[in-house]
Structure formats: C-alpha cells, structure tokens
Amino acid sequence: NYYYAFCGGSLFCMPLEPLELYRDPHHACLMFSDLIEEDGQAVQANQFLIVDGDTGAIIDPGGNLAFNELFMGMSRYFPPHRLSYLLASHADPDIIASLDRWLSSTRAPLVISRVWERFAPHFAKLGKTENRIIGVPDGGGLLPLGRHELLLLPAHFMHSEGNFHFYDPVSRILFTGDLGVSMTSGAEARVPVTTLAPHVARMEAFHRRYMVSNKVLRLWTRMARQLDIAMLAPQHGAPIMGRQAITDFFDWLDGLECGTDLFDERSYQIPTARIDPVAH
C-alpha cells in the first residue's frame, strides 16, 4: 500500500497511511514509522504529528533521510506552514538533523532543552535559528497547543544530558524519545506492544547502553507513575499500550542496571586493538 509523490523534482514511494495513535473530532496523533529506507545503514525512526484543531506540532522530526517523505506525508493531514512547533526531545542527528530544511519550509520554532539551545544552530545555516528556538528550562513546563497544553516532562540523562518527553493530556500519550526504544522494522513498529515480557529482548541491549544509570530510571518512573498514561510512544520501535504493559515497563526500568552501573576500570584502559580502516 504505497503511493508516489514528487518533491523537489524527485519521485518518492511513500506509505499510504501513517499509524493513527489517537483521533477525536478535534484532536489527532499520527505516527510515521517507515519513512527511512531499510537498507541497514540507518536506524529505524518514528516521527509524530500532533494536531489540535487548526494547530499542530511535529515531535522529533528526524534527519535528512526522513524530511521529504515526512513533509509530503504530513501535508495530507495538516499544512506544514501552519505548524506551531518543532518539538525535539534532544539534539541527536536522528532527531533534528533536518532542522535547516524545516526552518526554511515552515515558520515553526524549535522547542528544545536549554542545554542544546546553542548547539542546535549547528544543524542550520548561519542566522537561520535566530528567534526560532524556544529553550526549555531543566524543570520543563506547559506548552500551549490549540485548546490544550502539552506537558514537557524532564527526562535528563535518558539518554541525553538535556532531554524532555512530551505528554499529551488529550490522547494520554507520553512521547518518550529514546526511552522505551525497541529494535524493529518500520512495519513492526506499527504494531503496539500490549504484553511486555516478549518485548524485553528487543529493548534490553539498547537501554543498558544508552540510559545513564538505574538511579535516573527510578527517579523518572516515580514521576511518570503520577500521570494517566494510555500509551508510551518512543522514537524507535513500537508503542507500548495498556495499563498493564506500561506498569510492567516501569517495573522493568526500576530494576534495570545500565550505563554507569555497568562500567568499571576495565572500560577505561589504554587500547591495544587496531582499528580496521576498511568500512564495513
């Protein structure tokens, strides 16, 4: 189920429909999971469009590999020139490497942690980010979107030094960036996880390496458990849906050793192995 579209003189083969995570007469959340060609060179990534009435925002818009397809794909549901925000959980290339093109194609400002406020301009041409970045303080805050407000939830060191998750109180979806990530294909990412245990194997290696410490995980889950969450929507892999699966995920994080918990002096030794200069 694909359709073909022209953008910038090129022909693109695009998925017919994004995954609809939530919809009511005034509000919608859509997930684009397969905009990047799956050739093994780049990790699968999700991009999200959230619309309330005549306002909208893109969450974690992605890198240049996804820009044309996302711009064309979202145009079928919401006009890009009317976007209110580009929301970035953090500043990794798969989150905002396409920033220059979004700043050229829309009037939307970038919303990102103050930690990355002066680093994000490196993704754009000189002067392009001037008066176009909203720096979020460490404590987060409430961001107006249409008739409602998005909750910008602190998620520092999960895995980025300045990191935020975005909670939509209408859909009750928490967009979690690199937390809850699973290694899947774009097609597999379209199938929400409702039972956690069989899914852990797809998450474990990533979380052990990319989350900083169990202390941070436990601080975050203590905060997140206070929210009414219907779905966790990570930036890679499948959403986690339903009260039991979400509770099990929080419990799993509470007991997970990761990051600095796993490093000791063996990880910091003068190297002796040669690096093969031939790219693989």
pLDDT-derived band at 2 (thresholds 50, 70, 90) equals very low
pLDDT tier, 1 (very low <50, low <70, confident <90, very high otherwise): very low
For the entire predicted model, the pTM comes to 0.92
Q: Which segments within the chain are labelled E, that is strand?
A: 2-7, 10-15, 19-23, 27-32, 47-52, 55-59, 83-87, 110-113, 133-136, 141-145, 148-154, 164-168, 173-177, 231-234, 240-241
**For residue 255, is pLDDT > 60?**
yes
pLDDT exceeds 90 at position 12: no
Average pLDDT over residues 63-87: 93
**For position 165, what pLDDT does the model report?**
98
Pairing type for strands 27-32 and 47-52 reads: antiparallel
Confidence band, pLDDT 50/70/90 cuts, at residue 280: low
pLDDT in tens, 136-189: 999 999 999 999 999 999 999 999 999 999 999 999 999 999 999 998 988 899
